């Protein structure tokens, strides 16, 4: 029960630090390549003389920022589809749920390859690939919650008062399904973050020299044995960020479910 507030405090504190710390993550200095940690460069420099700490912080802004945008987009699309299928039922529910079943089984990396074949790699390609597959878990959950809420007395009362389907879904059903959806969004954060880092690692997403954790992993892998910190630090950043937000999601899920 206490994990959620602790994780939330950590998330807010780290986000505030990352947002306000002014660091230069792109300037190169070939005379200072692979420098050891020092007061000037607390985590040393990379193969182009760029400050590793600055790139980690810059990578947090890009990686976490894109993840939040992608999760929000997936949540909006999936929730809308789930509300529609759950409240309409019948053929509409059948079509939406079959589409969800298909998309759940499709890896985001495969979609990224297809999108990249149609358009140039970049941030837009990254977000499209994540959105195409990422909305489906939200749709499945929203459908389940809508079906559960649809039979409640307050919905029957709203129908008796003449409220239309859209009004009932948005004004009555959605607020009661919001908490599980928010907890689910936190749990999906790790999956989306890994997808974004993976696509950028493969060169399908964020492009160098923009600091992003997947890009940093791709650039550092050739120096894995001579300068392992160039791989280990961004990898650790991905794991830590994913773990903190997942713990937050689990905590919210337990708190709101009353267990």
Q: Model confidence over 161-181: pLDDT tens digits?
A: 666 667 777 777 788 888 889
29 and 45 Cβ atoms separated by less than 8 Å: yes
Distance between CA atoms of 17 and 57, rounded to whole angstroms? Answer: 9
Architecture of the domain delimited by 3-8+45-257:
Orthogonal Bundle (1.10)
214 and 63 Cβ atoms separated by less than 8 Å: yes
Residue entry with tokens 């399904």:
177
pLDDT level of residue 73 (50, 70, 90 thresholds) = very high
Which residues are paired to 51 by β-bridges?
A: 45
Distance between CA atoms of 96 and 200, rounded to whole angstroms? Answer: 30
Neighbours of 113 (CB within 10 A): 15
pLDDT level of residue 91 (50, 70, 90 thresholds) = confident
How would DSSP label each residue in 94-139? HHHHHHHHHHHTS-HHHHHHHHHHHS-SSHHHHHHHHHHHHHHHHH
pLDDT level of residue 185 (50, 70, 90 thresholds) = very high
Distance between CA atoms of 152 and 25, rounded to whole angstroms? Answer: 54
Distance between CA atoms of 83 and 177, rounded to whole angstroms? Answer: 10
The torsion angles phi and psi of 193, rounded to 5 degrees, stand at -60, -45
Q: Model confidence over 201-223: pLDDT tens digits?
A: 988 888 888 889 999 999 999 99
The DSSP code for 168 is I
Q: Model confidence over 101-144: pLDDT tens digits?
A: 888 888 878 888 788 778 888 888 889 989 988 999 999 999 88
Q: At what angle do helices 174-201 and 108-118 cross, to 10 degrees?
A: 70
Per domain, the residue ranges of the chain are: 3-8+45-257
Cis check for the bond before 209: say yes or no (omega within 30 of 0).
Answer: yes
Neighbours of 169 (CB within 10 A): 22
Residue entry with tokens 């492009």:
207
Q: Is 95 or 258 the better-scoring residue by pLDDT?
A: 95
Q: Is the pLDDT of residue 4 over 60?
A: no
56 and 233 Cβ atoms separated by less than 8 Å: yes
Closest CA to 191 of 242, 133, 128: 242
The pTM for the full model equals 0.86
pLDDT at res. 10: 65
> Residue 106 half-sphere exposure, CB side, CA atoms within 13 Å?
19
User: What average pLDDT does the segment 135-164 reach?
Assistant: 79
């Amino acid at each position: 029960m206490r994990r959620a507030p602790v994780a939330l405090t950590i998330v807010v504190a780290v986000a505030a630090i990352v947002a306000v710390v002014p660091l230069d993550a792109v300037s190169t200095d070939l005379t200072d390549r692979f420098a050891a940690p020092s007061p000037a460069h607390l985590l040393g420099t990379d193969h182009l003389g760029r400050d590793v700490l600055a790139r980690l912080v810059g990578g947090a802004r890009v990686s976490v920022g894109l993840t939040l945008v992608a999760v929000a987009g997936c949540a909006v699309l999936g929730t809308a589809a789930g509300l529609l299928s759950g409240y309409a039922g019948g053929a509409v529910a059948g079509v939406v749920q079959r589409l969800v079943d298909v998309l759940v089984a499709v890896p985001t990396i495969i979609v990224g390859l297809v999108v990249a074949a149609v358009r140039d790699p970049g941030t837009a390609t990254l977000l499209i690939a994540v959105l195409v597959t990422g909305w489906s878990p939200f749709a499945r959950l929203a459908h389940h919650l809508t079906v559960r809420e649809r039979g409640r007395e307050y919905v029957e009362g709203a129908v008796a008062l003449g409220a239309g389907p859209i009004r009932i879904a948005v004004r009555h059903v959605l607020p009661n399904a919001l908490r599980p959806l928010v907890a689910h969004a936190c749990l999906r954060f790790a999956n989306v973050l890994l997808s974004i880092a993976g696509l950028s690692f493969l060169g399908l997403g964020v492009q160098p020299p923009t600091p992003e954790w997947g890009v940093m992993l791709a650039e550092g892998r050739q120096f894995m044995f001579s300068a392992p910190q160039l791989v280990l630090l961004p990898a650790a950043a991905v794991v830590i960020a994913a773990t903190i937000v997942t713990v937050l999601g689990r905590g919210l899920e337990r708190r709101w479910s009353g267990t």
